[in-house]
Amino acid sequence: MAGIISSVKGNSKIRLDNKRFAIVVAEWNEEITGALYEGAYQALRQLGVKEKHIIRKDVPGSYELPLGAQWMAEQKEVDAVICLGCVIKGDTPHFDYICQAVAQGIMKVNLRFGKPVAFGVLTTLTRQQALERAGGKLGNKGEEAAWTVVKMLEQR
């Protein structure tokens, strides 16, 4: 993934120092979503986004991410939204319903507002899998979500 960040930073078609980003973070599984947030935040800063242009919006859980994203996307000064959450499979079908609803909701916000809204939601079978994707041996999916919205902004 280092190639993605250097490609975006070195060859960006747009100025990032004047772009504003909202990061919507689910409080549920806070240890994991906090690490995802740090990854996204640091990636944006490394790409040249000003600290004051990064807005954090906390929501109770992943199910609430689409509405939080909508509230941020409604703001004219926000150029892109990053949604960060973590849903870990349990013993009931609750996991399937939550994951489907969150994915559909975030996709609808993308289309409704015509702004990049990244799906940085971990949908894992175990807590260990989530930790591996939140700064562990498989990287940080929060960073990837940040790179995704930047690449999408470049496409406009």
Contact 74, 39 (CB under 8 A): no
Catalytic residue among 6, 7, 13, 94: 94
Q: Which residue has the tokens 């909202």?
A: 22
* C-beta of residue 59 within 8 angstroms of C-beta of residue 27: yes
Residue 135 host element (H or E) = strand 134-136
**Phi–psi pair at 137, nearest 5 degrees:** -65, -15
Q: Let me know the angle formed at the C-alpha of 68 by 61 and 71, rounded to the nearest 5 degrees.
A: 170
Active site residue 94: yes
Do 117 and 81 form a contact (C-beta atoms < 8 A)? yes
β-partners of residue 136 are 139
* Cross-strand partners of 88: 124
Q: Would you name the residues annotated as active-site residues?
A: 94
